[in-house]
Amino acid sequence: MQDFPDISIPLGDGADFIVNFLDDNLGPFFDFIFWLTSSTISTFDDFLNFLPWWLILIVIFVIGLYFQNWKSGLLFSTFIFLVGSFGFWEELMITVAIVITAVVICIFIGIPIGIIMALYKPFSVFMRPILDAMQTMPSFIYLIPVIFFFALGNVPAVFATIIYAVPPVIRLTELAIRNVDQEVVESAESFGSSRKQILFKVQLPQAIPTIMAGINQTTMMALAMVVIASMVGAGGLGEQVLIAINRLDIALGFEAGISIVFLAIIIDRVTSGIGDKFQRNKGDH
């Protein structure tokens, strides 16, 4: 048997160094991000907990009715009612607050990056491998550096979730803008539009349905990550799953798991319903 020679290239040490360096030097910056994110989450959470449970059920019904039909509305509110009956009402609200915060940040970061990638080829070439890495790295890996920056709790969970979930919205924004019919863009150009006008009056509106599909995927991935992120101390449904695993508690595991599935179904239907609404709006009136 041939042994590999005794060479060691300390790439891991490098990553370690960079993370430490950032933590030492950009402390105040991370503190600010921490504060911003944690207050966003708790604002959402407080708000959701402030609403009476029956009002939330009604709102869910109305959302289902608006984006799909009354049957979906009924199904969605039944799902939420069941989750409440498992005793996970507060956990559900925390999870929703974390997912919404992560998705909102993903949209704010992802859409501009996607736009820049569509408009500047070199940036796209630079970003692609990064996005590939973000999507293929085991999601646990992100947990380590975010703990460094943000300690344990909901905030690192949000950031791990963002890293994992932001690529679809970036990719689909880029694709959507690139795929806008060339003749349509040229017709805008031929009227003497500035680049900004072409972007905001033509490319982005034309791209919205595809961008919505990206947001849908991002949301689903965020939800999936929230479970994993409970390992760094995020509360909510994921935490219950983790407890169930530790205790080998089948009943608890099933209830927590099915609650996440219910939430996933609702979020998927609603976000894709929003996309459809955009498409239909232009056809109907």
Partner 1 sequence: MSVKMKINNVSKIFGPKPKSAIPLVEQGKSKDDILAETGNTVGVYNANLDIEEGELFVIMGLSGSGKSTLIRCLNLLNKPTTGAIEVDGEDVVKFKGEKLKHYRQKKIAMVFQHFGLFSHRTVLGNVEYGLEIRGVPTEERRKVARENLESVGLKGWEDKYPDELSGGMQQRVGLARALANDPDILLMDEPFSALDPLIRREMQLELLDLQERLQKTIIFITHDINEAFKIGDRVAVMKDGKVVQTGTPESILEEPANDYISEFIKDIDRSKIIQAENVMIKPNAVVSLKDGLNVAVREMEANGLSSVFVTDRSRKLQGIVTIDDAIQGIKEKRSLEDVMVKQVESVTKEAYLEEIIPKAVETKYPIAVVNDEERLEGIILRVHVLSSLISEDG
Q: What residues make contact with partner 1 under the rule CB under 8 A?
A: 181, 183-184, 186-194, 197, 201-202, 205-206, 208, 282-283, 285
**CA-CA-CA-CA torsion for 50, 55, 60, 66, nearest 10 degrees?**
-120
User: Taking the complex as a whole, how short is the minimal distance between the CB of residue 186 and partner 1, in angstroms?
Assistant: 6
Output 23 or 276, the one with its CB closest to partner 1.
Answer: 276
Task: Say how far apart CA 53 and CA 14 lie, in whole Å.
Answer: 50
Tokens 């501009």, residue located? 112
Output 208 or 243, the one with its CB closest to partner 1.
Answer: 208
Rounded alpha-carbon distances, angstroms, from residue 12 to 7, 17, 30, 143, 219: 14, 9, 23, 15, 31
Output 152 or 185, the one with its CB closest to partner 1.
Answer: 185
Output 18 or 184, the one with its CB closest to partner 1.
Answer: 184
Longest dimension (CA), the chain: 75
User: Taking the complex as a whole, how short is the minimal distance between the CB of residue 187 and partner 1, in angstroms?
Assistant: 3
Tokens 């900004």, residue located? 196
User: Taking the complex as a whole, how short is the minimal distance between the CB of residue 171 and partner 1, in angstroms?
Assistant: 22
Task: Say how far apart CA 285 and CA 113 lie, in whole Å.
Answer: 33
- Which residues, in sequence order, are CB contacts of 127 under 8 Å at separation 6+? 113, 117, 170
Output 59 or 119, the one with its CB closest to partner 1.
Answer: 119
User: Taking the complex as a whole, how short is the minimal distance between the CB of residue 141 and partner 1, in angstroms?
Assistant: 41
User: Taking the complex as a whole, how short is the minimal distance between the CB of residue 240 and partner 1, in angstroms?
Assistant: 44
